Amino acid sequence: MPPLILVNQLKFKYDDGTAALNGVDFRLDRAETVALLGENGSGKTTFALHLNGLLTGEGTVEVCGIPVNAKNAVTVRRKIGLVFQDSESQLFMPTVLEDVAFGPLNHGMSPAKAAERALMALEQVGMAGAAGKAPYHLSAGQKKRVAIAGILAMDPKILVLDEPTTFLDPPAQRALAQLLSSLPQAKLLITHDIPFARATCTRAVFFKEGMILQEGSIDEITMLQDWEFRPRRAE
């Protein structure tokens, strides 16, 4: 079967000349959950931002067989959903239901259909009971679930989560791992949290200096001797 994501020789420089990606090749297949590991500044987030066209470099990126470019941006962004590190950056409406319905409404769905889709997504993440609440009343773990629901309401094929355990206490981390494992979408997790990656991911790739240096199982990657793996704490 064709891959969900196919990246060939992706290169990118920022405006100041900093080379962030130096020829990345990557493939994501259906039902995979892959951890993107590496030090801060190694290129992980820059790479992820190319997957839905928020950044554009040299090389080729395809999502569900669709080339990622300005012409296809809207279509691609319906296929791949990005959950940011800080959930509050994705929650801005007066109620949880309105937040989750915002994406479908923005893509032309009727208010009734968008609300129905939002409720289904909230049920999927165990947050239907909070539909009428204000997002700022929620815990960090609940906000993360609602942010994920907002992406699920768009019916994506792929989820990309940036540092998903930031701000979460251990019980919320365990609950998030269980939630992600229950979702059928393929997933990319940008993380420094090795126990979380081990609980959720089928394989990992290790970024260094804008390249994928190694790939394999979580345990194979963590045997690297030149990088100390530890969860990154919120600043």
Task: Give the phi and the psi of residue 9 in degrees, each rounded to 5.
Answer: 50, 50
Burial of 227 (0-12, 13-18, 19+ CB in 10 A): middle
Helices (H), the chain: 44-51, 73-79, 96-106, 111-124, 140-152, 170-182, 194-200, 218-221
Provide the whole-model pTM: 0.89
For 5-221, CATH gives 3.40.50.300
Q: What is the C-alpha to C-alpha distance for residues 208 and 212, in angstroms, rounded to an integer?
A: 6
Residue type, position 195, single letter = P
Query: 21-58 pLDDT, tens per residue?
Result: 999 999 999 999 999 999 889 999 999 999 999 999 99
What digits encode the pLDDT tens for the residues 146-185? 999 999 999 999 999 999 999 999 999 999 999 999 999 9
Q: Is the pLDDT of residue 228 over 70?
A: no
